[in-house]
């Protein structure tokens, strides 16, 4: 999802472009890919600052484990899928169909839950791919969003090769 509005705890430039981080209380609730002309602003609270530090560590080393408290808003089914995504190791992928079989659902339902993920990168939906292609990312089947997915997978693959 690409947004242009503000109201974020931070807006930061990353190798993927501008990211907006949202918090509620002591938990991270959202990460959005933003338009490039949105002005940066740095963390205004400790949770957002911790999220930014962990993102920077991930961009330096894709094996970095995220330890933030996350509060993704979604249905019980979506939350079950998002929880499963967190167990896919960096540098690995799983197909929509394989994950669907594991969770006793359909590949389309897995794709829908991935598309609704409010915390991409932190909840690694980019690690779910189609049987013979990358699949989609954040609801897109081509363009900038799919380029982000490809970048994340390549970044993690390079980190896995360094092990």
Determine the Cα–Cα distance for residues 135 and 140; give it in Å rounded to an integer.
9
Determine whether 86 is an active site residue.
Answer: no
CA distances from 132 to 94, 113, 126, 128, 138 (A): 12, 20, 15, 12, 18
CB-based contact 10:43 (threshold 8 Å): yes
Residue ranges of alpha helices (H) inside 32-105 are: 46-60, 76-85, 96-103
Bridge partner list, 17: 14
Residue tagged active-site, from 52, 125, 129, 152: 125
Return the active site residues: 125
């Amino acid at each position: 999802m690409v947004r242009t509005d503000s109201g974020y705890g931070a807006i930061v430039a990353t190798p993927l472009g501008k990211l907006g981080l949202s918090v509620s209380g002591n938990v991270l609730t959202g990460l959005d890919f933003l338009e490039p002309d949105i002005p940066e602003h740095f963390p205004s609270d400790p949770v957002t600052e911790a999220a930014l530090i962990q993102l920077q560590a991930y961009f330096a080393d894709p094996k970095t484990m995220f330890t933030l408290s996350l509060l993704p808003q979604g249905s019980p089914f979506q939350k079950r899928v998002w929880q499963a995504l967190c167990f896919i190791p960096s540098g690995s992928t799983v197909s929509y169909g394989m994950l669907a079989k594991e969770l006793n659902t359909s590949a389309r339902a897995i794709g829908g839950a991935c598309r609704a993920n409010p915390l991409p990168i932190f909840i690694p939906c980019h690690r779910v791919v189609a049987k013979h292609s990358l699949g989609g990312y954040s609801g897109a089947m081509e363009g900038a969003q799919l380029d982000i997915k490809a970048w994340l997978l390549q970044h993690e693959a390079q980190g896995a090769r360094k092990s």
